[in-house]
Amino acid sequence: MLDHLELKSTDLDLAAAFYSRVLAPLGYALRVDEEIKKGFGDAHGLDFFVTAGGTSQKVHYAFVAPDRATVDACFEAGRDAPGGKQDRPPALAPNIHENYYAGYLRDPDGHLVEFVCQKAA
């Protein structure tokens, strides 16, 4: 449904370093590296951008992972990602549905970043 998502960051270079690390297991890489905008994408195109400016910590968004191992890999990448923080380790969330498996990080601006697989193991 969404074509792309763009967030604001108070420290664009730190945010770019964080997302470069945690999105790598999904096949994403930094594709646009401008002074005021960083764009990330995979083989299918660009769909995630971070731009210079203020931020809101009430933002929560989720990246689709193809399997539970990739959710785990993204979460583990967050352990060493610059400026990031692990929020909740990957686990099933049966309150959502029986196959909802997600892990959560906080980016350098405090945004809640989720990595989720909704497929059976």
Round to whole Å and give the CA distance between 60 and 121: 25
Contact 73, 90 (CB under 8 A): no
Residue pLDDT, tens place only, 17-70: 999 999 999 999 999 999 999 999 999 999 999 999 987 778 899 999 999 999
**Which pTM does this prediction carry?**
0.89
Q: How many CB atoms lie within 10 A of CB 72?
A: 18
When pLDDT is averaged across residues 68-73 and rounded to a whole number, the result is 98
What residue numbers bound the domain in which 76 lies?
Answer: 5-117
- Domain of 110: which CATH number? 3.10.180.10
Round to whole Å and give the CA distance between 80 and 20: 11
Q: What is the pLDDT of residue 57?
A: 74
Q: What is the pLDDT of residue 58?
A: 81
Q: Domain total for the chain? A: 1
